[in-house]
Structure formats: structure tokens, C-alpha cells
Amino acid sequence: MDTQQTINNLTSLEGRVSVITGGASGIGLGAASRLAEAGSEVALLDIDDGRGRDAVRSLEERGLQTSYYHCDVTSDTDCSQVTKEIITDFGKIDVLFNNAGVAIRKNTVELAEKEWDLALNVLLKGTYLLSHHVIPHMIAGDGGSIINTGSGWSLKGGPDAVSYCAAKGGVLNLTRAMAIDHGQHNIRVNCVCPGDINTPMLRSECEQLGEDHDEFMRSAADRPLSRVGTPTDVANAVLFFASDMSTWVTGASLVVDGGGLA
């Protein structure tokens, strides 16, 4: 086998099934595209059915194998049911990318209890719930890779984002705990920690803070690599964790932020 073929094999996801939450837009859609390009069949999960079906249609027009499933990651019933549907349709789950998210930009005084609950339920409980239902199937299938979406704010605090920072800090340590528990099952669990990424969520944050999006994009580019990130930047890190390039990497976090935390 030549060197190029070896590299191709390391990055290939041929024959694998990947599940992505929050897959209808932003980082989730970028990851869906990249994993499908690597050969994986991809199940997109989201609560926005219209956007989810549009995402699948756009990927299928490029010849990429994707399917859409409705799932509210805060619902145990939804997570249980969608896992059963995917196992019925594909027979297995090799990769789980827990990516569904919400960002509420308020401090402790401003934040309402229901907003705290929403953030923690989507970002932290949702990561737990879907993993809870998927991991037994990974164990039965001799292993898999779970990638959780953290944040640069998993590692440091940020302004006017108390629920987001709390949840993302939890996601990072949940990742470590899951890696310890399930390494024996050949399940690797890692965390990708993006900085500012040009997504609909980032635009929503600007609106919440009363900031001009274009001005924010210019100011947020004040980092070593001099630009805001793209979903593809994060998707490449997800591919690393999903593929055989990272077979001895678990319990790790990878910051993808253009050097913002440097």
C-alpha cells in the first residue's frame, strides 16, 4: 500500500454511520458535509424540520448520503425514539457528534430561571441524553467515536453568557468522564472547542447584545489568524476525532479558535 493510500484510509469513513445533532445549520451542517464527503452515511438531527430537510436536499444534490430525523435533544423520549429509528435504518451508529446548541447572552442577574434551564437542557442534558441511548449500541458494535461541542468558554469565562459558560464547562468535564468510563468499550470521547464561528447562532448573539454583526465580525477577527472561523474549520476537527487519525485520542479537547485563547 502506498503512502497516499494509507493517508486516504486514515481519513476515510466509508461504511460508517454518523449522527449529528443540531445538523440543520452552522457547525452541524458543516460537519455533516465533511463526514459525508469522507464516505460516512449521515443522520442529521434537529428540531427545525424545514431547515433540516433543506439541508439534506442540498447535501444530496452534491451526491452525499444524508437523512433527516426530528429530535429534541432535551426530550428523553425523542432521543430514545430517534436512536431506535437510526438503528433500524442503518443497523449501527459509529460516530455521534453532540452539537445541538443555544446561546443566551445574559449575566446572572438578567437571566431568567427558564432561560437557565433551556441552556443547560440543550447544551448539557442533551449531550448526556443522546449519548445515554447511543452508547449501548456502540458497545454492541465494538466501539465508536463521540464528539461533543464545547467552546473556548469551556476553558475560560466570558461576558454576559453565564448559562452558556456553565453548560459548556460541564460538557468538557462530561467528555472526560465519559472517556474514562467507556474506553474499555473502545469508545473514544472527545470535545471540540470552537471560538467565534460565522453561523446563525453568532448572528443571534449579536442581535441579543445589540451589536452590528458586520462590525462584530471585524472586531472578532482581532486574533492571531485574523479572521472569524467557519463551520468547515470546526468540521475538519470533527473529522479528525471521527476518523482513524485519532485512534489513541480520548478525553481530549481541541480548541479551534484561530488563536483567540493564545
Distance CA(121)–CA(135), nearest Å, equals: 19
Are 115 and 86 within 8 A, CB to CB? no
Q: Which of the 8 DSSP states describes residue 229?
A: B
Determine which one of 68, 69, 128, 164 is catalytic.
Answer: 164
Angle at 25 between CA 21 and CA 27, to 5 degrees: 70
Count of H-run helices and E-run strands, the chain: 10, 7
Distance CA(96)–CA(127), nearest Å, equals: 10
* CA dihedral over 196, 200, 206, 212, signed as positive or negative: positive
Cβ-Cβ contacts under 8 Å for 168 (sequence gap 6 or more): 123, 150, 151, 153, 154
Are 34 and 232 within 8 A, CB to CB? yes
Concerning whether 128 is annotated as a catalytic residue, the answer is no
Distance CA(4)–CA(170), nearest Å, equals: 39
Can you give 163-220 as a three-state secondary structure string? HHHHHHHHHHHHHHHHHHHHHHHCEEEEEEEECCECCHHHHHHHHHHCCCHHHHHHHH
Q: Which amino acids are annotated catalytic? A: 164
